[in-house]
Structure 1
Amino acid sequence: MQLVIEYDRENLELRKLSTFLIDRAKLSLISPTISVNIFISEIFVIQAITTYPAYCDMYPLRDAGPFETTVRGFRVYVNTALGYARGMHMKRFDLDFSLRAIKIYLENFMGGGKIGQLMSKVR
């Protein structure tokens, strides 16, 4: 059985993104490159999600509800090189990220109770 998940982009709520640290930033005009290393200590996400069908093979899922996630220690590194040939183009784009911890609150999604609490503790 296939599980399809729909989410509403208009009701996406992101919190705590305003506190970030730019560890390193580099711009070179000789060989056009841009490098940025950004650290965000915590991100909190709330999203309304709907699942189809409402039941999986192992455990029945609620068909709709809020989905909450907390990400701690998110670090992203971007490095790009630009080129010139009849206009500017992107020669290379590297993206790397890491995170220290993630907690996904599945209690509402799993219908509450002990199963939902247990699934929220699994990391």
Structure 2
Amino acid sequence: MAVPTNLKYTAEHEWLLMDGDTATVGITAYAADALGDVVYLDLPAVGATITAGEACGEIESTKSVSDLFAPANGEVTEINQDAVNDPSVLNLDPFERGWLFRMKLAGDVDVLEPAAYESLIAGK
């Protein structure tokens, strides 16, 4: 499974595309594969303040319901309504069309570099 090198990652299998103090957030292909067919998304509301490591939404698949964890502290500035309308995009294209939300970052972000994330998923 390819791990894009332009992204940062969390141990909870989220990816972040950093652009200054803004980040686009999604789940990795590894997470999407482990979830199975995604059928429903509950994303944080625009304007919501989220805290790193805390649940900020849910992803429901044909296998289970999983919490979506905030990858960093900050405020949600946009959600991907296309993904809410068609959650299967997370399985089809998790690193592009399947992004979940954008956020304005507050403070430091604790993320993994691509090589560290690859090592994490190789150990599973």
- What's the TM-score bracket when you normalise by the shorter of the two chains? under 0.3
Greater radius of gyration (CA): 1
Relative contact order, higher structure (CA 8 A, sep 6+): 2
Q: Which has the higher helix share?
A: 2
Higher strand proportion (structure 1 or 2): 1
